[in-house]
């Protein structure tokens, strides 16, 4: 899946956040790192049209994120940092079906698809639970399941491990490794990027290093720590 940024600039609240981004990415595992305020979360949100470029274009699989947002969102699944704000319906199985309803998947297929995704992730027992009673790790898994049930072709994670304890972080890391789709991860958790294909380092709204994980992390450590 090809992701292309062409001369992209982003201004939010009249402040420049990203400058002159031109990029072609088709790697399977991509990391995005940078200090706070570097623009990495904004970059991630360009991928599914949550943020629109003030200038330039972003294309995912050939689709323009502004002109063809619906097509893009069918293909790009986005997992946010706080699972509490991702689970929007009271019961887990209902919440998973929400995305399917939005996509126009026939109601008759909802139950089986929801069941399958929950089983794949080993959390079928959570299907009829209320979101309130779930632990932090369980919520993160449910939030991910709610995205995976929509069968995205590209996954973007915005700081997936920041709010997790060590055990859940390891669990999530294992799940990330198993995902078949290409994955972009915005993170502070540098260890997560072991074995990744490409890592972008952002600073002041620009990509200051674009390399393999070891080189990028080293650059990051020496310049931004």
Partner 1 sequence: MIHSLYVPGASWLHRQPAVVKLGVLMAAGIMLFLLHHPLPLAIAAGLALVLLASARVPLARIWAQTRGLVVLIVALGGVLTLLQGWAATMMVLLRLCALMCLALAVTFTTRSADLIAACERALRPLERRGWANAAKVSLALALALRFMPEIYRRYELIREAQAARGLRAHPVRLIVPLVISVLKSADEIAEAIEARGFPPTRSQDPP
Query: Which is closer to partner 1, CB of 27 or CB of 94?
Result: 94
3-state secondary structure of 86: coil
CA pair distance 74, 152, nearest whole angstrom: 6
Nearest approach in angstroms of CB 148 to partner 1 is 12
CB neighbours of residue 36 within 10 Å: 7
Angle made by CA atoms 133, 139, 145, in degrees to the nearest 5:
130
Closest approach of partner 1 to the CB of residue 92, in Å: 11
Query: For residues 80 and 184, which CB has a smaller minimum distance to partner 1 in the complex?
Result: 80
Smallest gap, in angstroms, from Cβ of residue 105 to partner 1?
8
- Which residues contact partner 1 by CB under 8 A? 45, 48, 50, 70, 73-74, 77-78, 80, 82, 84-90, 94, 98-99, 101-105, 130-133, 146-147, 150
CB of 219 to partner 1, least distance (A): 30
- Which of 148, 199 has the CB closer to partner 1? 148
Spatial distance between the Cα atoms of 220 and 104, rounded to a whole number of angstroms: 43
Handedness of CA 169, 175, 178, 179 (dihedral sign): negative
Nearest to 41 by CA among 22, 61, 58, 18: 18
For the bound state, the minimum distance from the C-beta of residue 50 to partner 1, rounded and expressed in Å, comes to 6
C-beta closer to partner 1: residue 93 or 193:
93
User: Rounded CA gap, 121 and 103, in Å?
Assistant: 22
Identify which of residues 58 and 150 has a Cβ nearer to partner 1 in the complex: 150
Which of 50, 42, 57 is CA-nearest to residue 206?
42
């Amino acid at each position: 899946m090809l992701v292309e940024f062409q001369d992209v600039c982003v201004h939010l609240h009249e402040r420049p956040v990203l400058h002159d981004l031109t990029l072609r990415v088709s790697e399977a595992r991509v990391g995005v790192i940078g200090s706070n305020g570097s623009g990495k979360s904004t970059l991630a949100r360009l991928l599914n049209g949550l943020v629109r470029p003030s200038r330039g274009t972003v294309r995912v699989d050939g689709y323009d994120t502004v002109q063809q947002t619906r097509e893009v969102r069918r293909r790009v699944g986005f997992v946010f940092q706080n699972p509490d704000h991702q689970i929007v319906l009271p019961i887990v199985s209902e919440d998973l079906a929400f995305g399917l309803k939005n996509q126009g998947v026939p109601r008759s297929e909802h139950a089986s698809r929801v069941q399958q995704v929950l089983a794949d992730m080993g959390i079928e027992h959570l299907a009829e639970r209320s979101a309130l009673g779930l632990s932090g790790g369980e919520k993160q898994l449910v939030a991910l399941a709610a995205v995976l049930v929509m069968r995205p072709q590209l996954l973007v994670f915005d700081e997936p491990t920041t709010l997790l304890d060590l055990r859940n972080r390891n669990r999530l890391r294992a799940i990330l490794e198993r995902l078949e789709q290409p994955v972009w991860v915005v993170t502070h958790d540098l260890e997560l990027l072991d074995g990744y294909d490409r890592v972008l380092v952002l600073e002041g709204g620009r990509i200051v290093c674009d390399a393999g994980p070891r080189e990028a992390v080293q650059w990051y450590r020496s310049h931004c720590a």
